[in-house]
Structure 1
């Protein structure tokens, strides 16, 4: 594997793992007031920068500001355009103090802006607060639609859990006020209605929720049920359904994190090992190339020396031949003159 290939694949792998880590369940405290319970958005959309969006922004700002002073409030905004009204409300848990209420509503409103972008209606239920807005009329209207039901593990039918649970649930149904609590031994219960319902509507909603909870959770140690405008929950021994489910999610998330960390460590070791092999291979190859280059240099040097020797010998031969040539010519001239003298004497 080349260094360029490693550089290309490593960021992609890390991006994938980071994306996987970011998708894991949030390891938050089960008792956190801003723990997510459920949410939903209307299918109808509004046009960005329209009068409706201006009214919606004013509404959400009013909800956040009001949460610093009260645990419930509702508004209907028509300022920018009476033809594009929008209504909204927030409801904090009766066991939440004012500062936690304000923080929960603020967080909920900010999340609604992301969850229900450009939606004409949106609902978000956290553990400690409820926020809703819509362009349809819903204030003061009873809503017993089942939104969410969760049951804890079964404790079996050989204990007094069922009798204690029924005692708590009956007390919640017969109580008064929008926020109600009940206790029977080790079983605790809580119920609440949204503040726009009157006492009769609230009791009607809670009785519906209680019947669904009794029939749907059997001998479970805990249960939570949310209808459109009210909720009821119970737990045995202080173990709530939300806490139990969150612990299971956290346990699974911990296992996944451990696996991913192991994978990251393994990938890191592989990359280091491959990098080491690449460096060793390149070092060995470099030594071979260097040795080959030295041998070629020595061979070229010897060849060049031989060529220079031959050239030197050739030049020397030419000098000797040149030095002998004039003497030979002089001898030839002397012999010619002697021959001519002899011929003259003979004549």
Structure 2
């Protein structure tokens, strides 16, 4: 049987998987008495049809890029890190402690300090399952799943008993100082022009002071940090000795051990980097959006990161593109729930179908395409 060309493996297989997921989603909509075309139109308009929609789509995508990169770097070392959710929650705790208890002269300095804290807390939470895997043989999937629940319980206790302001009934920390607020897209030069509000006559809306009015969006400077992180992961995995050792260990552990590659070193380093990347997600929503630590600070992004990495073929560029797609599904699904009678939970169904076809049924699509390319080669030979 012919070998599937690399371009088909990287581009055609995910595209066909997406089409299949869309077709099954359309069937589900028809079965519940809804119009697939109306649903698609509302989702596209809500997520991509306005500057505000794009702002929310990129906000969600930013979180998914970080957690997707975390899964990717562990996967290349032969490890399946399911603990991105807990690592992101502990990263949020690091951000909160850095912003609440350390004096920062400016948001730029605070961003560096909070990023280091987020990465450190996320890495520390990943270090325990990593050590158990490397030294005791505990399965990384089981331990990281368990640590998600431990992280959630720990965060509830810390918020309720330690960080919650006196007299507040909300299980959340105090708000961070106003001067630590990160710049959002609608506040940045050049970018803010894309978020201008327009009146019915097409003219730019003006405030009482005669200044232009902008649509407020949660997308912030962290988006650019996520792109830098994606570039850094690409350099690490494909242009450094450590990255080569990680990929060699992930491909064939026994051969890597025979070549002198330390299993303990690779497992620990890969999981520490994976946890640090997942922890960095908290910069986006804890420091950039909520400006305080909430109970559900990770917002499920740790689990979505698994699907993002699978769909992105565990390549940083693919992760970025897949994260934007899932950002579209998140924001488009919210628009679907607000503007139609279609339940917002349908976006979870669509996400599940995308995961199903890009992950579990990926091999089926690959076999079908390989068969098609084999037939083409046979016809050419004849």
Tell me whether the two structures share a fold, i.e. TM-score over 0.5.
no
Name the one with the larger helix percent. 2
User: Which structure: larger Rg?
Assistant: 1
Q: Specify the TM-score bucket, using the shorter chain as the normaliser.
A: under 0.3
